[in-house]
Chains A and B, each alone.
Chain A
Amino acid sequence: MIAIQCEHVDFHVRKKQILHDVTFSIYPGEIAGLLGPNGVGKSSLLRILSGVMPPSQGCVKLFGQTAGVSTLGDTAVLADRGKLPAWLTCDQWIQFARKIFPDWDDDRAAHLIEELEIKKEAKLSSLSRGEEARMQLLTCMARRSRIVLLDEPFTGVDLLTRERIATTVVKSLADGERAFLIATHDIREMESLFDRIVFLQDGKVRAVDAVEDLRERGYSVESRYREVFA
């Protein structure tokens, strides 16, 4: 079974073509990176994969089901620059989220509050960028969704929080059923996390690589990134 199957996806807004013939597959148990500079269509692609926006052409299947309303319950998304309701405290937000997500898991949430050191009483408006990123990650990971899409989770976040986010991702994978796709333009210190890399440029897939294969050929993700985008 393929977790994320993206086939010949085109996307345009009026005459502007954002994505051209995007094709790749991600398997259960994988942590995949969607890499590319800013503005190449990573966020548009994630929106299409998450089922909230249909492609102009082509098709996306998540565990065999066409992405759309029916897959929303099995897909957790961390949106780039997504905003949490500032007037709530962390705990009020968690209480709200557990009601809107049918696959919310209270045990996981309790565990994540501890692991990500969430200050339950703090107002969301008072959180630092790193604390907010951790809170958003919790909102994704407290769900049982088999597909997790994270859009730029490391941006503007300090190194320790980056590492903590990465550790949480690794730990939440243990059952091997989940698949992660993490869009980022910045791979510093995070490259060990990825098993598969999809390189996107100007709305096109430039390369898809299994990372251990790259390493066996003497490449790092970073050196391959330079080669692809040079």
Chain B
Amino acid sequence: MTLMEPWRPPAISLDTNRSFFEQFADMIRSAIAKGELQAGQRIIAVREFASIFRVNPNTVMRTYADLEREGFLQTFRGQGTFVTKDPSILEKSKKVLARLAYEKWEETAKSLGMTIEQIIEIARKENEEGEKL
């Protein structure tokens, strides 16, 4: 077992109109994707996590349970919660984040009555024109 410090989430303010357990899951997944949180590293206890954001520990417990189900975290009784010791975890987190980003784009595209391809096309053109200026 490594003697790494347990990972703490950044004390950012939460969106009050998005569910907290999803925001916490996003934080953990993206920390894994960015390599800030490594395979086998411990993350702080539910209670400590909850007191950083001043939310009910139940909400954090739900995040940990969801991420365990997704295979990102593992809890060992009496030891704490760890990032799964699996070298493919980095790739996996990127895949999940990419999928979530895609879902958001899809939603935006739908609300605009466009396809994602059309949006990319427009953004690319704007970008090229911007560079010319």
List residues of chain A with CB under 8 Å of any chain B CB: 29-31, 163, 166-167, 169-171, 173-174, 176, 191-193, 195, 212, 215-216, 218-223
Residue of chain B at shortest CB distance from A194: B56
Q: A171-B47, A212-B59 are in contact. Are A220 and B17 (CB under 8 A)?
A: yes
Chain A residues with CB under 8 Å of B20's CB are: 192, 212, 215
A170-B54, A192-B55 provided; 17 other pairs, C-beta below 8 A?
A163-B54, A166-B54, A167-B51, A167-B54, A170-B51, A170-B55, A171-B47, A171-B51, A173-B57, A192-B54, A212-B19, A212-B20, A215-B17, A215-B19, A218-B18, A220-B17, A223-B17
Chain B residues with CB under 8 Å of A166's CB are: 54
Can you report 6 residue pairs joining A to B where beta carbons are below 8 Å apart? A167-B54, A171-B51, A174-B57, A192-B54, A195-B59, A219-B17
Interface band, chain B: 10 to 19
Q: A170-B50, A170-B51, A212-B21 are in contact. Are A192 and B58 (CB under 8 A)?
A: no
A169 to B47, CA, bound (A): 12
Contacts across chains A and B counted by CB atoms under 8 Å: 54
Chain A residues with CB under 8 Å of B19's CB are: 212, 215-216
Chain A residues with CB under 8 Å of B55's CB are: 170, 192-193
Q: A191-B16, A215-B20, A222-B16 are in contact. Are A174 and B56 (CB under 8 A)?
A: no
Residue of chain A at shortest CB distance from B55: A192
How far apart are A162's CB and chain B's nearest CB, in angstroms? 10
